[in-house]
Structure 1
Amino acid sequence: MKKQLVRHTRDYFQRIYNQVPDAIFLSPGRINIIGEHVDYNDGFVLPAAINKYVCFALRKTNNDTISFHAKDINESYSLSIHDNLAPVETMWVNYLLGVLDELKRRNKKVSGFQMAFSSTVPMGSGLSSSAAVECGLAFALNTLFDLGLSRQEIALIGQQAEHRFAGVKCGIMDQFASVFGKKNKVIKLDCTTLDYSYYDAHLGDYSLLLLDSCVKHTHLTSGYNDRRNEVEVGLKMIQSQFPEVHTFRHCSLEMIENLKTELGDIIYKRCLFVVKEIARVGQAIAALQAKDYPLLGQTMTETHWGLSKEYEVSCPEIDFLVETMVQHEGVLGSRMMGGGFGGCSI
């Protein structure tokens, strides 16, 4: 599958530009075993890169023009390296323009280039196709133009591109997992300090299976930013009563319960989920290290119903998949994965 993707992308580049690309790059999508919607709440997450990729073919040119071709949808976009960059109506272009804008902000200079890309990461499925696009282009340009960026800087460039040009105030998990992922490893990432460590992803006789709900989400229309605003309001209210709370990881369930009336029903439920989910990540890592796979599965299922009932980012189709799957013998747990409102269950 990977070789076929590379071959098709290279062939498409040659057909579009009548030239051979200088280089080919692969950028992986990601899954997240547990730790949903806590990457922007100073929590911990447990993602892993997967064997679904965005493939980039690039070639330097001797002019000032940058050209993008999206093979899968047969669309193209061109600009000059001297253009003032701003978001456009075509969303896939914004992920790329956002990366170029971040490079400009860091005084990293690129000249004209041609690029074509194709993907096996399904769009809108919760596998972080946007992060794979952003980080893949940043990584490719860093290599092609010798920009001297670290892997962490590439991940942060991808995140800021999504903030400024796609309008989604995402956390750092998706970009970090795409850049730092290793084969057969999961990453425990501290989303505050960006400290990270790897754990073996071998699950004995068990496997991770993704089920596509066939409901395609877009974070912009899904309420993703609304949830982020709600928890920011909630944290400020908690801090006004408990000054020792700097982030949600310093917050206890008792604090949330004591402020239930003041928070109001919606903010209360959002904050309750975040505090519980941060604790569940620690439980899941302990279960993984102890090879206690039933406990890992149970923790995942608890996360799902928290996402569905407290954070309210699931949908009937995903709830159906989870509820149906956990009734099958041999299935240890299931949950919604990704930003929500569609996509996959795991």
Structure 2
Amino acid sequence: MKKRKLIQSTVAHFQKLFHSEPEALFLSPGRINIIGEHVDYNDGFVLPAAINKYFCFAISKTNSNECTLIAKDLNEAYKFDLEEELKPVDKMWVNYILGVIQQLKERGCKIRGLQIVFSSTIPIGAGLSSSAALECGIAYAFNDLFELGLSKETIALIGQKSEHTFVGVICGIMDQFASVFGQKNKVIKLDCTTLQYDYHPASFKNYSLLLLDSNVKHTHLTSGYNTRREEVEYGLTLIKAYFPKVHSFRDCTLEMVEQLKETLGDIIYRRCLFVVKEIQRVQDAVEALEASDFNQLGQLMFQTHQGLSKEYEVSCDELDFLVESVQNVPTVLGARMMGGGFGGCSINLVQKGTENELIASITEHYRDTFGIELKAYKIKITEGSHRYYDKIAK
């Protein structure tokens, strides 16, 4: 679904339910990460970008403290009073929103009730951070409508804390940051420790980005994610004990990790090895982008997937198949799994004009192997969360 059609359908649903025009429209994008996976919570650098898949919010203020949330795609609704104590509920999508509003309340922000209808073109469970887009879109909308004066950084942090407190996933900051700070045809090199960032060119010239959605999501995503965090935190504690000058993984070298291989044990060793190498790969990817060296960027992507699959062990058979299937295809420069893992998408850097042929070939082989229909998304890099002011075509 194109952006304009998404907006039109969201507005139409608002009109149908509330018999009025929405006061404002907001778009909040999903994100990709070119490289730098699972290092956002390991004091590393990441290289995300916002993409042209969105949550659209049609919103009007009310004269009360009652909020009405309408999830158009789910055909579900939820009402609550801002004056009441907010607690997690059994509808997960509601918790992402309640968590954000709770953060605003704790900050003493003066807010009132809203009528909100939202819909999305971000595939759920594909590793494109639909949750961050939802959180940040809600926070951005409240900030805009009630003139709260929150910075973009604060909006991103509110989204992250919402996920920590009301959803129970101790996520890093990358997803929310990319959703808020995205710029057209730019990737963000983000220091996840200091939140310092800069932009780098992402005009891929004769190449384009293609996402291949495995259409699977294995159940151990959340448990696996939290386990990996525990493993690398334990590994860093051991490394610090032997190398007191080390404060974070960015201070670690491969030599340090290799020296402690027996002390760390096989699993922790491989987790730490991946993190140290991935932090360096982000630096190398920035240099490749600045030099328009897309062959080098592609090789780094393949290396990252190998690390995610064998060292960090967050891939799965389906994702490994998707990446291995394109490794020897001349029109594909690089590919890797993207996101938390155990399902979701692979991101592919491919020659422009060859996408449809590649999709057809991989889809057939994937169906034959797993009995699953593959989904494909041609994406572009776009701006972050924003208020939409253009007139809607009727």
TM-score (norm 1): 0.98
Provide, for residues 215-269 of structure 1, a one-character-per-residue CA deviation record: whole Å limited to 9, x for no partner.
1357754511111111111111111111100010000111111111111111111
Which residue in the other structure is 1:172 paired with? 173
Q: Is the Cα–Cα contact under 8 Å of residues 124 and 218 in structure 1 kept in the other structure?
A: no
Which residue in the other structure is 2:265 paired with? 264
Which residue in the other structure is 1:183 paired with? 184
Which residue in the other structure is 1:234 paired with? 235
Which residue in the other structure is 1:111 paired with? 112
Q: CA RMSD in A?
A: 1.1
Moved over 2 A (4+): 216-222
Q: Percent identity?
A: 66
After superposition, residues 169-318 of structure 1 pair within 5 angstroms as 169-216=170-217, 221-318=222-319
Which residue in the other structure is 2:148 paired with? 147
Describe the SS at the equivalent of 1:79: strand
Describe the SS at the equivalent of 2:73: helix
Give the length in aligned residue pairs: 346
Provide, for residues 81-137 of structure 1, a one-character-per-residue CA deviation record: whole Å limited to 9, x for no partner.
111111112111110011011111211121111111000000000100000000000
Q: Is the Cα–Cα contact under 8 Å of residues 217 and 343 in structure 1 kept in the other structure?
A: no
Tell me, in whole angstroms, the C-alpha distance in 1 between the residues paired with 2:318 and 2:223: 15
Matched, 1:324 2:335: no
Which residue in the other structure is 2:87 paired with? 86
Cα gap change, 1:48 to 1:6, in 2 (>3 Å): same
Q: Is the Cα–Cα contact under 8 Å of residues 168 and 219 in structure 1 kept in the other structure?
A: no
Matched, 1:60 2:67: no
Matched, 1:75 2:76: yes
Which residue in the other structure is 1:28 paired with? 29
- The residue type equivalent to 1:73 in the other structure is L
Asked which structure has the greater RCO (Cα within 8 Å, sep 6+), the reply is 2
Cα gap change, 1:322 to 1:127, in 2 (>3 Å): same
Tell me, in whole angstroms, the C-alpha distance in 2 between the residues paired with 1:182 and 1:269: 35
- The residue type equivalent to 2:303 in the other structure is E
Tell me, in whole angstroms, the C-alpha distance in 2 between the residues paired with 1:219 and 1:19: 43
TM-score (norm 2): 0.86
- The residue type equivalent to 1:301 in the other structure is F
Tell me, in whole angstroms, the C-alpha distance in 2 between the residues paired with 1:25 and 1:79: 21
- The residue type equivalent to 1:27 in the other structure is S
- The residue type equivalent to 1:25 in the other structure is F
Structure 1 residue 46 displacement after superposition = 0.6
Structure 1 residue 56 displacement after superposition = 0.4
Which residue in the other structure is 1:43 paired with? 44
Q: Is the Cα–Cα contact under 8 Å of residues 132 and 178 in structure 1 kept in the other structure?
A: yes
Cα gap change, 1:217 to 1:150, in 2 (>3 Å): farther
Which residue in the other structure is 2:98 paired with? 97
Q: Is the Cα–Cα contact under 8 Å of residues 221 and 340 in structure 2 kept in the other structure?
A: no
- The residue type equivalent to 2:11 in the other structure is R
Note the residue ranges of structure 2 that are not aligned, 5 or more in a row.
348-394
Describe the SS at the equivalent of 2:179: helix
Tell me, in whole angstroms, the C-alpha distance in 2 between the residues paired with 1:221 and 1:229: 13
Q: Is the Cα–Cα contact under 8 Å of residues 57 and 115 in structure 1 kept in the other structure?
A: yes
Tell me, in whole angstroms, the C-alpha distance in 2 between the residues paired with 1:88 and 1:232: 30
Q: Is the Cα–Cα contact under 8 Å of residues 77 and 93 in structure 1 kept in the other structure?
A: yes
Tell me, in whole angstroms, the C-alpha distance in 1 between the residues paired with 2:126 and 2:189: 22
Tell me, in whole angstroms, the C-alpha distance in 1 between the residues paired with 2:262 and 2:242: 13
